[in-house]
């Protein structure tokens, strides 16, 4: 299960690709532009989210909750046994268990195919074709369903489905399929956009965590 949790973490927080807009659905792009604009206007936000993993054969396999705080390109993500700090330049991945604690430090790579809490709002601009597939209702809220399909055949994420509030143009949830037919779904539960977070909140302070083994890969 630890391996699956690591996959989930990398998928949540974890998109920069080459782009051509010619084949995009104009209506889908119009909706996503509004979502992106709304995000750019925020000073930041914090949220509790639910993430699930399911397959067509077995149905729902796993459900967990996490917390995330985002400010521009910075984010801090908390899961059951790990926490990720990213201040836009450096990323600290803290692993916590009953037996040990360790933090791995890396530079943030600018040209990477990672999906993060920040670039989920702009991923459609680079390397994906957007198509408005239809609409549905999520927890009583009418939503647009938009499918992003990777332009590269070997992209890390071939398809990403976004659920957008029709009236507020907020991103409410997204789904990602893995290479074995499973589906990860992430849904915001409680979101607070009226926050003022200091930049040091996104930095792991090694001097204040002497009991944590440090693995510096920079």
Rounded to an integer, the average pLDDT of 64-70 is 94
59: confidence class by pLDDT, cuts 50, 70, 90 = confident
List pLDDT tens digits, range 2-15.
444 444 444 444 33
Stated length of the chain: 218
The pair of three-digit structure tokens given for residue 184, joined into one six-digit string: 């990860």
The 10s digit of each residue's pLDDT in 109-163 is 875 567 778 788 888 888 899 999 999 999 899 999 999 998 888 777 888 999 9
In the chain, where the domains are located: 2-216
Spatial separation of the C-alpha atoms in residues 184 and 42, rounded to whole Å? 26
pLDDT value at residue 113: 63
* Spatial separation of the C-alpha atoms in residues 129 and 133, rounded to whole Å: 12
CATH topology assigned to domain 2-216? outer membrane lipoprotein receptor (LolB), chain A (2.50.20)
Mean pLDDT of the region 30-34: 96
Cβ(35)–Cβ(170) below 8 Å: yes
Sheet with 182-192, edge to edge strand ranges? 128-138, 141-150, 159-165, 171-177, 182-192, 45-55, 59-71, 74-78, 82-86, 90-96, 101-107, 213-216
pLDDT of residue 6: 45
Q: What percent of the chain clears pLDDT 90, i.e. is strictly above it?
A: 52
């Amino acid at each position: 299960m630890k391996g699956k949790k690591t996959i989930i973490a990398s998928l949540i927080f974890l998109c920069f690709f080459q782009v051509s807009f010619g084949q995009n659905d104009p209506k889908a792009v119009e909706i996503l532009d509004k979502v992106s604009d709304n995000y750019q206007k925020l000073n930041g936000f914090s949220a509790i989210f639910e993430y699930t993993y399911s397959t067509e054969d077995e149905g729902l396999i796993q459900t967990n909750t996490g917390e995330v705080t985002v400010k521009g390109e910075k984010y801090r993500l908390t899961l059951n046994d790990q926490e990720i700090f990213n201040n836009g330049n450096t990323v600290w991945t803290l692993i916590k268990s009953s037996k040990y604690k360790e933090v791995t430090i890396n530079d943030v790579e600018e040209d990477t195919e990672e999906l993060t809490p920040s670039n989920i709002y702009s991923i459609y601009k680079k390397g994906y074709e957007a198509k408005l597939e239809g609409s549905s209702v999520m927890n009583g809220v009418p939503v647009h369903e938009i499918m992003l399909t990777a332009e590269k055949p070997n992209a890390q994420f071939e398809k990403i489905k976004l659920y957008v509030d029709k009236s507020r143009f907020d991103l409410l949830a997204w789904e990602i399929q893995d290479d074995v037919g499973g589906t990860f779904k992430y849904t915001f539960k409680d979101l607070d956009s009226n926050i003022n977070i200091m930049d040091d909140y996104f930095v792991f302070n090694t001097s204040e965590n002497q009991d944590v083994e440090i693995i510096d890969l920079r």
